[in-house]
């Protein structure tokens, strides 16, 4: 059995990379629904349906657990899938998201208790980060801002271009204007770590930028320790295979950017599968 990693597109590879650094021994299967990405602007119903189809595809390909390495899918589909759909696959399969592991690190990082979130419109509008953050400490103040241009900048390989400066600076300035007391900013979208150089350039000095991959990976390490009944079923070949709903050639090009890997095994799949 493998660990499945799902993202709407390529961004989830930033999470996969960190997970494999912490847990290189397991076998992984990554699925990018690149043909239907981005998910960010879609409605709840559409994101839920697309995510469920992807999760089913990974569970049917022998994944013991699936990580939704996509904030939009975690925000809009995780809970419904866990409650309504997962039981069909037996009591020992799991689907986990990225929002709770990210939020759990925040109380240690913020001093002002004023936190910013930069994410897709879908994630911001879901209110999931606010809800999860309040669970860690009811005093936390979250100011969230959607960055609709940031995902295309990354998808179209413009994340390091001078044009990206304008969009990154614009959103950071807007966020800090909304709440100047923010001392910690969560990058709540798996694409955004590629813009890190620009984000650091334009964020006010002393404001901490939280990239979620490391926290998601550490949380998975902890989860597998606490759940030996799941961990013992995951095979330990150290392999990683890739599935995409788009062309395998495009996926390989993206993997070179997101993973710095060129020699990967990619298969094309259709969603829904039947
Ligand atoms: N990977 C998605 C996320 O983390 C962003 C891309 C999309 O909109 O599909 O929210």
The DSSP element (H or E) to which 64 belongs, if any, is strand 63-68
Q: Give residue 192 CA to ligand 1 midpoint distance, Å.
A: 9
Q: Give residue 190 CA to ligand 1 midpoint distance, Å.
A: 6
Q: Give residue 228 CA to ligand 1 midpoint distance, Å.
A: 31
Bridge partner list, 96: 67
Q: Give residue 46 CA to ligand 1 midpoint distance, Å.
A: 14
Predicted local distance difference test score (pLDDT) of residue 274: 66
Q: Is 189 in the pocket of ligand 1 (CB under 6 A)?
A: yes
- What distance in Å separates the CA atoms of residue 208 and residue 4, rounded to the nearest whole number? 30
Cβ(106)–Cβ(183) below 8 Å: no
- What distance in Å separates the CA atoms of residue 14 and residue 212, rounded to the nearest whole number? 9
Whether 189 is catalytic is yes
User: pTM (2 decimals)?
Assistant: 0.93
Predicted local distance difference test score (pLDDT) of residue 155: 83
Burial of 53 (0-12, 13-18, 19+ CB in 10 A): middle
**Assigned token pair, 228:** 């030996």
Q: Is 11 in the pocket of ligand 1 (CB under 6 A)?
A: yes
Q: Which one is catalytic: 70, 105, 147, 240? A: 70
Whether 240 is catalytic is no
Atom of ligand 1 nearest to the CA of 123: 10
Q: Is 9 in the pocket of ligand 1 (CB under 6 A)?
A: yes
Return per-residue pLDDT of the chain as tens, 274 residues: 999 999 998 999 999 999 999 999 999 999 999 999 988 888 899 999 999 999 999 999 999 999 999 999 999 999 999 999 999 988 899 999 999 999 999 999 999 999 999 999 989 998 999 999 999 999 999 999 999 999 999 988 899 999 999 999 999 999 999 999 999 999 999 999 999 999 999 999 999 999 999 999 999 999 999 999 999 999 999 999 999 999 999 999 989 888 888 889 999 999 987 6
Mutation test of ligand 1: which of 40, 144, 258 has the most ligand atoms closer than 8 Å to its C-beta?
Answer: 40
Cβ(168)–Cβ(146) below 8 Å: no
Q: Which one is catalytic: 63, 105, 147, 189? A: 189
CB-CB neighbours of 246 under 10 Å? 18
């Amino acid at each position: 059995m493998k660990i499945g990693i799902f993202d709407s597109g390529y961004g989830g590879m930033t999470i996969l990379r960190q997970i494999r650094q912490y847990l290189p021994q397991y076998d992984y299967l990554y699925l990018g629904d690149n043909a239907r990405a981005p998910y960010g602007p879609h409605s709840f119903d559409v994101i839920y349906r697309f995510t469920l189809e992807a999760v089913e595809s990974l569970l049917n390909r022998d994944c013991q657990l699936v990580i939704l390495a996509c904030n939009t899918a975690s925000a809009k589909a995780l809970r419904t899938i866990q409650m309504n759909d997962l039981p069909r696959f037996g009591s020992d399969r799991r689907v986990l998201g990225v929002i709770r592991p990210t939020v759990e690190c925040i109380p240690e990082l913020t001093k002002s208790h004023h936190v910013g979130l930069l994410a897709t419109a879908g994630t911001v509008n879901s209110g999931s980060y606010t809800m999860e953050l309040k669970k860690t400490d009811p005093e936390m103040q979250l100011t969230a801002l959607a960055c609709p241009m940031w995902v295309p900048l990354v998808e179209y390989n413009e994340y390091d271009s001078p044009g990206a400066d304008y969009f990154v600076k614009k959103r950071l300035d807007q966020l800090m204007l909304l709440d100047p007391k923010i001392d910690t900013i969560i990058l709540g979208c798996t694409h955004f770590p590629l813009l890190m150089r620009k984000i650091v350039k334009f964020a006010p000095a002393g404001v901490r930028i939280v990239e979620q991959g490391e926290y998601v990976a550490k949380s998975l390490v902890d989860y597998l320790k606490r759940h030996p009944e799941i961990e013992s079923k995951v095979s330990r070949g150290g392999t990683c295979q890739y599935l995409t709903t788009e062309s395998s050639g495009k996926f390989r090009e993206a993997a070179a950017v997101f993973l710095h890997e060129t020699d990967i095994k990619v298969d094309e799949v259709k969603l829904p599968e039947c």
